[in-house]
Amino acid sequence: MKESLDARVRILDAAEQLFARHGFDATATSAIAILAAVPKGLLFYYFPRKPDLLRALVAERHGLGPIDTTTLIEPGNPVRSLLNLTRKIHEIQRTSEVIRVIIWRERHTHPEVESDLTHHRSQVQEVIERVLQGSLHNPISAARLRTAAQAWLAILALRPLADGTESDDSVSGLQEFATLICDGLTTRVGRGLPDPV
């Protein structure tokens, strides 16, 4: 049983590597079987169709997993809290080519990938909201919190993860964006007007 599970993992590892390098459509199942060192028939035993491989990769390797936000939150410092969360998300994303390359490349041509990406964004937004909520001293409306989380999510989605290194400019730029977003949370909207509901 363990050998068959190992073969399945090797197949997924090979598919992940080749899909990231060449794209889904340009990768032959025979190349995946060769790289995984399994007979092609075993590949089809686990994944009867090539899209089943992509579906399994996305479903099994794209999730964030549990994130302990208590270790990321700095009470009274939402900017630092957002940057802590961003660093954690980037650590998670660096462990897999799926997030960095495959998802973005295949999302427009494979509906299951787009669906998973939508679910992933929703998960990230919820975590951002929890981190912001926990770092603010004063309560804010759900609408403002949601808008700030959506803005930060958009910034994270645009920022490429090229080689996993953080340059001083990128850290400084993220800090400026975080400050801008958090300033909008900690100041009243429109000179003393109450928060929108």
Tell me the per-residue pLDDT of 136-162, one tens digit each, with 9 for 90 and over.
Answer: 988 899 999 999 999 999 888 765 444
Q: Which residue has the higher pLDDT, 185 or 142?
A: 142
Structure tokens at 5: 């599970």
pTM of the model: 0.72
**What's the pLDDT score for residue 18?**
94
**What's the pLDDT score for residue 171?**
67
DSSP codes of every residue in 145-172: HHHHHHHHHHHHHHS--SSS---HHHHH
**What's the pLDDT score for residue 191?**
43
Q: What is the DSSP letter of 71?
A: G
CA–CA gap between residue 34 and residue 94 (Å, rounded): 25
Structure tokens at 159: 């920022």
Which domains are delineated in the chain? 2-61 (1.10.10.60), 69-186 (no CATH)
Region 190-195: mean pLDDT is 46
pLDDT band at 45 (very low <50, low <70, confident <90, very high): very high
**What's the pLDDT score for residue 143?**
93
Q: Which residue has the higher pLDDT, 106 or 23?
A: 23
Q: What is the DSSP letter of 138?
A: S
**What's the pLDDT score for residue 126?**
94
The pLDDT of residue 132 is above 70? yes
**What's the pLDDT score for residue 188?**
56
The pLDDT of residue 40 is above 60? yes
User: 119 vs 102, 116, 160, CA distance in Å?
Assistant: 16, 5, 20
**What's the pLDDT score for residue 169?**
52
Tell me the per-residue pLDDT of 65-114, one tens digit each, with 9 for 90 and over.
Answer: 788 999 999 999 999 999 999 998 888 777 776 666 787 778 778 877 78
For 97, phi then psi, to 5°, come to -70, -25
